[in-house]
Amino acid sequence: MKKISIRTAQNILIDFQVAPLSHRILAFLIDIIIIAAATGLLAIFLLSIDAYFVYFLPIVFIFYTPVSEMTMNGQTFGKRAMRTRVVNVNGKEPTVLDFLIRWSFRLIDIYFTVGSLAVIFISTTGRGQRLGGILSNTLVVSLTSEMELSLNDILRIEDRSRYEPQYTDAYRFSEDEMLTLKSVLDRYSTYHNTAHKNLIEVAAQRCADVLGIKKVPDNKFDFLKTVLRDYIVLTRS
């Protein structure tokens, strides 16, 4: 899989893996199935009221993708199933305009060319972007990455049975939050600059708030490592 580092507004580099073409195709097919099922059920309901309402059914097909991505943090149900997400290449949250540009170019990328143009662009561009992604400055990344696999490797299986979690509420965090935390820790270990140090402090305060800790431990790096380790043990035991 292609890798990309995105610089956030806080000047922090976060590593992502570009979603593979196969995952994007499967996500698209899942969405089509969901749209077909939703449209069919809605048609049955509307026909029982007035046949005139059936003319509104195309709205489901037309607006499913942009509405889903705007309200589900860059995901549709298909993307969520395949653990992919739309992100902005500048590290900012994609805007409504970004999603609308991506959506409007689906006609050319996917429907008018039966997906061939999208496949060509995704396969040949460095960031795996289709035309709509290039023009909107967005791309689709995989949330199931080497980082996620490495979460399972932080503690050996035989160590988990002997390890006693220090922060038993660490399970409250989401997988995505822990992946981001691991990326922050890895970056700080490699680059000891002010920006990454500041992010460690922000992450430590965020974790302390979630865990109900009034005073953040002095060694914030070790604190975050412990939180990450506890999360893994509590969610994978």
Blockwise average pLDDT, block size 10, the chain, 237 residues? 69 76 96 93 83 81 94 94 91 90 95 94 92 96 62 52 82 84 84 83 93 91 91 78
Contact assessment for residue 109 and residue 99, using Cβ atoms and an 8 Å cutoff:
no
* Structural domain boundaries, residue 187: 146-236
Q: Which two tokens stand for residue 209?
A: 């708030």
Distances (CA, A) of 213 to 81, 123, 181, 205: 34, 47, 18, 9
Residue 163, C-beta contacts closer than 8 angstroms, at least 6 positions apart: 155, 229, 233
Tell me what pLDDT residue 158 has. Answer: 43
Number of domains in the chain: 2
pLDDT on residue 48: 79
Structural domain ending residue among the three candidates 84, 111, 142:
142
Judging by DSSP bridges, how do beta strands 13-18 and 138-142 pair with one another? antiparallel
Which residue, among 113, 67, 85, has the nearest Cα to 24 in the 3D structure?
A: 85
Residue 6 has phi, psi (to 5 degrees) of -110, 130
- On whether both 70 and 182 belong to a single domain, the answer is no
The pLDDT value given to residue 9: 59
Residue 185 sits in the same domain as residue 125:
no
Pairing type for strands 84-88 and 138-142 reads antiparallel
154, 129: one domain: no
In this predicted structure, what is the pLDDT of residue 157?
Answer: 43
Residues 192 and 76 both lie in one domain: no
